[in-house]
Amino acid sequence: MNAPSTAVEVPRGLAGVVVTDTEIGDVRGEEGFYHYRQYSAVELAESVGVEQAWHLLLHGHLPDDDELRDFREHIGRLRVIPEVLDRLLPELCEASDDPLQTLRTALSVWGSATGLRPLYDCDESETLGSALAAAAVTPTILAAAHRLAQGLEPVPADPSLGHAEDYLRMLTGRPPSARELRAVEQYLVSTMDHGFNASTFTARVIASTGADLAACLVGAIGSFSGPRHGGAPSRALQALDEIGTVDRAADYVRAKITAGDRVMGFGHAVYRTRDPRSEMLKRTALGFDDPLVDLAVAVEDTFERTLAELKPGRPLFANVEYYAGVVMKLAGIDPSMFTPTFCVARVVGWTANVVEQSRDSKIIRPAARYVGPPAPQPVPTRHPARTTP
């Protein structure tokens, strides 16, 4: 039997383990509440735009009118793709039609082309500048990658427009309506940050090594691309498409649970009550007069009642992915761009977390509990002879 490890044992997946301090925000799962710094994130999503929330996460306060004007102008200029990357994007898209995969490679190129230095060697001003530039150029890269994958010409960034408006215009090739813009802006603000989720934690682990900011984001995107994390909005909408009519919803859930499958768009690792982001996006969706909204609301009710029956004592409510897919589709975003659009929001939180982590000189280096064969054992003096094929 193995000797017990001297490491402190923690829950699987580090659930509930506090690994550092942060001033950026917090998720109170038992209360169904989360906040960015001192403000309710849901209230911010319902009352301010992307630039105000971004400024809050990165700089610690909501901007006044002059600060907001300067901030918008600055990130507008940073949204333009550098020439060297602009030339390479068509080739990157030939290698993959997945915009997130293209973004991972593109940000590596962008980091090299712009001369990003390791965070270890940067002062606060340089780190902040890199964080702003990376988050600003991300939606431009994603929109261009999507259009190139569709055989369409990319739409150049317009620095005079707001961040969300320009993203939708570059993505769809047309100016968004006021309702579409506000819906997507609410989605983006509400999903910028959400505690130490897998991708945020990944970014901070890499930042703790002193690597450059692009490396932190490439790692975060890799984590984010997984279906258990950022890859769920399109899958939740796909479930609605498969169900088609509400009378089929209960049987759909029963079949999933019987097969041991996850019901995409329901349940959350932290919330033990309703997901406040889902509740807010549901209100946003109800602002659209569309049969998809009626179906989503009816299916949500059936899903929750059936899940309560099948899994008593385990609250499973709609999470942010459920209504996110509905809102994005109604705003004219192709389902293939649901997760990349989530990334447009989350990159703001990742970069704010990287900046905060860069101030800490301690590398993040946890331990693992060894469960392999007992050690030490004598090393064999003779090895089996190699077989010749």
157-186: pLDDT as tens digits: 999 999 999 999 999 999 999 999 999 999
Region 241-250: what's the mean pLDDT?
90
206-218: pLDDT as tens digits: 999 999 999 999 9
Give the pLDDT of residue 161.
Answer: 98
Give the pLDDT of residue 265.
Answer: 80
**One-letter amino acid identity for 230?**
G
233-330 CATH choice from 1.10.230.10, 3.40.1280.10, 2.160.10.10, 3.10.129.10: 1.10.230.10
pLDDT band at 349, cuts 50/70/90?
very high
6-55: pLDDT as tens digits: 556 777 777 777 888 999 999 998 898 999 999 999 999 999 999 999 99
What is the C-alpha separation between 343 and 122, in angstroms, rounded?
25
Lowest mean pLDDT among 123-137, 198-212, 373-387: 373-387
User: What DSSP string describes 239-280?
Assistant: HHHHH-SGGGHHHHHHHHHHTT---TTB--SS-SS--HHHHH
Of the residues 51, 180, 185, 321, only one is catalytic, namely 321
pTM: 0.90
Which helix (H) or strand (E) segment holds residue 232: the answer is none
Q: Which CATH class is domain 38-226+335-358?
A: mainly alpha
> Which residues have CB under 8 Å from 296's CB, separation 6+?
240, 285, 322, 323, 326
pLDDT band at 2, cuts 50/70/90?
very low
Residue with tokens 């369409």: 152
Q: Is the dihedral of CA 174, 175, 181, 184 positive or negative?
A: positive
- Residues pairing with 36 in the sheet: 25, 39
Instruction: Establish whether 321 is a catalytic residue.
Output: yes
**One-letter amino acid identity for 324?**
A
85-97: pLDDT as tens digits: 999 999 999 998 8
What is the C-alpha separation between 366 and 364, in angstroms, rounded?
6
Of the residues 51, 268, 300, 356, only one is catalytic, namely 268
pLDDT band at 267, cuts 50/70/90?
confident
Give the pLDDT of residue 145.
Answer: 96
Segments of the chain assigned E as strands: 25-28, 33-36, 39-40
Give the pLDDT of residue 389.
Answer: 57
Distance (Å) of CA 316 to CA 67, 266, 307, 311: 42, 6, 7, 8
Is 268's pLDDT higher than 90? no
Give the pLDDT of residue 321.
Answer: 86
357-370: pLDDT as tens digits: 999 999 999 888 88
Region 117-124: what's the mean pLDDT?
97
273-331: pLDDT as tens digits: 888 999 999 999 999 999 999 999 999 999 889 988 888 878 888 888 889 999 999 99
Give the pLDDT of residue 232.
Answer: 60
Q: For the chain, what are the domain ranges?
A: 38-226+335-358, 233-330
Give the pLDDT of residue 246.
Answer: 92
Is 1's pLDDT higher than 60? no
Give the pLDDT of residue 382.
Answer: 76
What is the C-alpha separation between 330 and 325, in angstroms, rounded?
9
Please, what's the largest Cα pairwise distance for the chain?
A: 77
Q: Is the dihedral of CA 301, 306, 309, 315 positive or negative?
A: negative
Give the pLDDT of residue 14.
Answer: 77
DSSP state of 318: B
Is the separation of the CB atoms in 249 and 299 below 8 Å? yes
